[in-house]
Amino acid sequence: MVLLGNPDTMVNVCFVCLGNICRSPTAEAVFRALVEREGLTDRFHIESAGTSGYHLGAAPDRRSAATARARGIHLAGHAQQFTAEDFERFDHVLAMDGSNLEELLARAPDAAARAKVALLRSFDPTASPGADVPDPYYGGPRGFEDVLEICERACAGLLVALRTQHGL
Ligand code: 4NP
């Protein structure tokens, strides 16, 4: 188990998709850039993970990395699978789509763990209730642009909400 920062001072956030190579690494990097811009780097621990282990250890998808790079955002890390233990490690678990959400809720050991899980787009002011970050994996380049733009809007909303919730 990786020890995170002091739980009294750090807010531990994990973004979760299916493969942890497209959407959740994008959300992780976008959120990290926003946190850095607001001078809050030492207050957040940020990771991403997949509900599946399909791509364990793989680098982010080249198409996601290129789309992010064009906007000055670097996708880092290697795919990892979200585990039951992660419900203890993280304060907030942001699912990219409804399928990820259902999977996480089914794996959550108790009500406290379930309360940590939300759809990322519930923080996107332009999204309808229940909206997904659409899976871009089998589509064309526009899907990757859409993911990036959605993550920028939703992560900005998420940061406002977490700053309020945690008094940051
Ligand atoms: P992600 O995209 O969940 O955003 O990382 C996908 C990556 C791989 C697969 C599906 C979605 N796959 O089926 O291998």
As for ligand 1, residues whose beta carbon falls within 6 Å of it are: 17-23, 54, 135, 137
| 19 CB-contact burial (10 Å; exposed 0-12 / middle 13-18 / buried 19+) | buried
Contacts of 37 (CB under 8 A, 6+ apart): none
Residue-wise pLDDT tens digits, 78-90: 999 999 999 999 9
Per-residue pLDDT band for 129 (boundaries 50, 70, 90) equals very high
**pTM for the structure as a whole:** 0.96
Known catalytic membership, residue 69? no
Q: In the structure encoding, which two tokens stand for residue 42, read together?
A: 């030492």
List for the chain the helix, strand, coil content (%; round to 5).
45, 15, 45
In b/e form, how buried is each residue of 90-125, taking b as 16+ CB within 10 angstroms? bbbbbbbbeebbebbeebbeeeebeebbbbbbbbbe
List CB contacts of 118: < 8 A, sequence separation 6 or more: 92, 93, 94, 95, 101
Mean pLDDT score across all residues of the chain: 96
- 7 has a pLDDT exceeding 70: no
Q: Which of 18, 94, 148 to mutate to test the pocket of ligand 1 (most atoms within 8 A of CB)?
A: 18
Say how many Å lie between the CA of residue 61 and the centre of ligand 1.
9
| Active-site position among 14, 22, 23, 121 | 23
Distance CA 101, CA 52 (A): 13
**Catalytic choice (32, 61, 135, 151):** 135
Locate the ligand 1 atom nearest the alpha carbon of residue 147 and give its number: 4
Residue 23 annotated in active site: yes
**Count of C-beta atoms within a 10 Å radius of residue 49:** 24
Mean pLDDT of 96-101: 98
